Chains A and B, each alone.
Chain A
Amino acid sequence: MSFEVHSLAFAYAHQPVLQGVSLALPAGHFYGILGPNGCGKTTLLDLLAGHRQPAAGVIRYRGRDLGGYARRALAAEIALVPQDFYINFPFTAQEIVMMGRYPFIPRFAAPSAEDHQRVRDVMKVTGTWPLRRAFVTELSGGERQRVVFARALAQDTRVLLLDEATSNLDIGHCLELLALTAGAVRTAGKTVIAVFQDINLAAAFCDRLVFIKAGAVVAHGETGEVLRAEVLREIFGVSARVSYNSYCDAQQVVFRKSAA
């Protein structure tokens, strides 16, 4: 079991964002979190990452209260790829990816040969190796996002949290990185929890989906079971048709242009 969440609540200055969220997220799955803008998806990720403290309720990670983990220990377990990434200082792409190894390197030590190897490997599989000497301030948005993705992979954690991590990428790079991530779930038993806007991308890569609306979980379960037209109508207020698509080898959704 990766995460167990019991009656979780969170509020920003008395504005409730999440309430009564209870979820069990066993390890080794690719979870997609879907829901309308402002429904609390990103807040849920922040809580799972330990970046924010819940107002009420409990989050357990691998059987222990998340709040009981030291920051550094958590960084070796859970990596986060944020949606947008802005940096003002000209670090090279390779330096940024190496930062993913910091939780494993003592404060005043130099990176080991193993750390360098790991950085080289993830930069090669993410296609960022040719950018290694480029300044991250001079990369395009998509290139920068791939570098940040590589940094999270360099962290080599059991859990990977993606906060709309592929929304700045073109479809080619997007599919490439999601396939890479899904491969890590299948072969290395990693747990990925990803917030998506694109329902079809989520349906193609995630084996489990969690639907959130107005701070509460409306439906969750295996993709084949919860991805239904009624659920999409309830969550997003849209008319949709869900069917298995053999070309994609997954459930896919088509939408009617007008909401009615």
Chain B
Amino acid sequence: MTVSNFKNRLQQATGLQLLLLILLLGALILASAGLGYIPLGFGDVARILAAKATGIAGFADGLDPLLPVVVWEVRLPRILTAAIVGGGLAVAGAVYQGILLNPLADPYTLGVSAGAAFGAALALLLGIDFLGVYSLPLCAFIGAAGTLATVVYLSAAAGGFSSNNLILSGIVVAAILSAGISFLKYVADEQVAVIIFWLMGSFASRTWTDVTLTLACVSLGLAVSVFFARDLNLMAMGERAAGSLGVDTRRVTLVLIVTASLVSAVCVSVSGIIGFVGLLVPHMMRALTGPDNRRLLPVSLLAGAILLLCADTTTRALLPTEIPIGVLTALIGGPFFCYVFRKRQTMRGSRR
């Protein structure tokens, strides 16, 4: 009971949690903008940003004219894209876990990542470049969206979408696509390294276009998810109970599945496949905020942004050589998840 009491009190402080997370995220963005090949102080970063934001060049007086370019054109787009993608994956993960009634679901449960990977691999192999640098993300997105449409089509039944049907369809479609990716790698010859590298994920050389695109999609996704957050709470009690409490379960399921999938599709398209953020962050945050999605979704967004920003800064500026971000998140996130999962099992055992 005392544990419950403590948790309850902690959960009521959502406003405070959000404020602290926003401050932490802001500080991390500034700090990581100063880290890298050319280290910069907190104050210098702030001066460069002030000069850019206000248009008064005087703020950056006395600094090497190269530095504003490094911070504004190179580091900041990458930093912001990493943060936005982290937030988007975390929100998508929270929505999936709510819809599929499964705390172990993640943004890739329905095969979105396999679809994106297949689209990207195909684009790399065939050398599709009619849209320049955007050809690859576009093909990845088409692959992800096509996979989603297939999964939804397969699992739609007269009564609505059951979570078991959705998960099963996702697994089957992902398995087919994985075989397809293996085949593409097999026939790719010298291109295979490019495909593998893309699949492992990276935020290197992101631009402001990536920032704008992901920001727009993730904001829209968050808005839709928060709008239906209360319905999502009711869906946790099963379709029948949610229906009797006024939720149009079929519509809410479809809208949220499509929203979360498109958010993850956009994230995967710009960054490659980054695992564990969408699984881990909502899972951890649920312990902090409780399962109410109205609190969980915004807190997960910020925590996901912080986590992926830290991971990307680590690989970009702190490690001697850059390792793919997808590998890093899985290497750190996987064991951490095992630790938390195991701890919860043993705690549950002692309580019963």
- Chain A positions within 8 Å of B, measured between CB atoms, are 13, 46, 49-52, 71-72, 74-76, 78-80, 82, 85-92, 95-96, 99-100, 102-103, 107, 133-135, 138, 148, 155, 161
Contacts and interface: CB of A to CB of B under 8 A. Distances in A.
Interface string B233-246: 11011101101111
Contacts of B241: 80, 82, 85, 148
Q: Which 8 pairs show the lowest CB-CB distances between chains A and B?
A: A75-B246, A89-B291, A80-B244, A72-B246, A103-B246, A51-B243, A133-B4, A71-B246
A91 B290 contact: yes
Nearest to B239: A51
B243 A100 contact: no
A85 B237 contact: yes
A71 B4 contact: no
Contacts of A90: 286, 290-291
Interface of B: 1, 4-5, 8, 98, 101-103, 158-159, 227, 230, 233-234, 236-238, 240-241, 243-248, 286, 290-292, 351
27 contacts: A52-B159, A71-B247, A75-B245, A80-B241, A80-B244, A85-B241, A87-B237, A87-B238, A88-B102, A88-B236, A89-B98, A89-B236, A89-B286, A90-B286, A90-B290, A91-B233, A91-B236, A91-B292, A92-B4, A92-B8, A99-B234, A102-B230, A102-B234, A107-B230, A133-B4, A138-B351, A148-B241
Nearest to B292: A95
A75 B245 CA distance: 5
A89 B246 contact: no
Given A89-B103, A102-B234, 16 more contacts: A51-B244, A72-B246, A75-B246, A80-B240, A80-B244, A85-B238, A87-B236, A87-B238, A88-B101, A88-B102, A92-B290, A96-B237, A100-B245, A102-B230, A133-B5, A134-B1
A51 B245 CA distance: 11
Contacts of A80: 240-241, 244
Nearest to A133: B4
A135 B4 CA distance: 8
B67 to A, nearest CB: 44
Contacts of A86: 238
A102 B159 CA distance: 24
Contact of A75 (B227, B244, B286, B292): B244
A88 B98 CA distance: 9
Contacts of A135: 4
Nearest to B103: A88
Contacts of B101: 88
B241 to A, nearest CB: 6
A79 B244 contact: yes
Contacts of A52: 159
Nearest to A80: B244
B124 to A, nearest CB: 39
Contact of B233 (A75, A88, A99, A100): A99
Contacts of B247: 71
A134 B237 contact: no
Contacts of A46: 240
Nearest to B241: A82
A258 B114 CA distance: 60
B247 to A, nearest CB: 7
A155 B241 CA distance: 12
A71 B248 CA distance: 7
Contacts of B1: 133-134
A45 to B, nearest CB: 10
B113 to A, nearest CB: 23
Contacts of B243: 49-51, 71
A51 B291 contact: no
Contacts of A79: 244
A82 B233 CA distance: 17
Contacts of B227: 107
A122 to B, nearest CB: 15
A80 B240 CA distance: 9
Contact of A78 (B5, B102, B244): B244
B96 to A, nearest CB: 13
A80 B241 CA distance: 7
Contacts of A82: 238, 240-241
A75 to B, nearest CB: 3
A177 to B, nearest CB: 17
Contacts of A50: 243
A100 B246 CA distance: 10
A134 B7 CA distance: 10
A241 B98 CA distance: 50
Specify which of A52, A76, A102 lies most central, judged by the most chain B CB atoms within 10 Å of its CB.
Answer: A102
B244 to A, nearest CB: 4
B261 to A, nearest CB: 21
Contact of B4 (A13, A49, A134, A161): A134
Contacts of A74: 246
Specify which of B4, B5, B98, B240 lies most central, judged by the most chain A CB atoms within 10 Å of its CB.
Answer: B240
A75 B234 CA distance: 12
B291 A91 contact: yes
Contacts of B8: 92, 133
Contacts of A155: 245
Specify which of B4, B5, B241, B247 lies most central, judged by the most chain A CB atoms within 10 Å of its CB.
Answer: B241
A134 B286 CA distance: 16
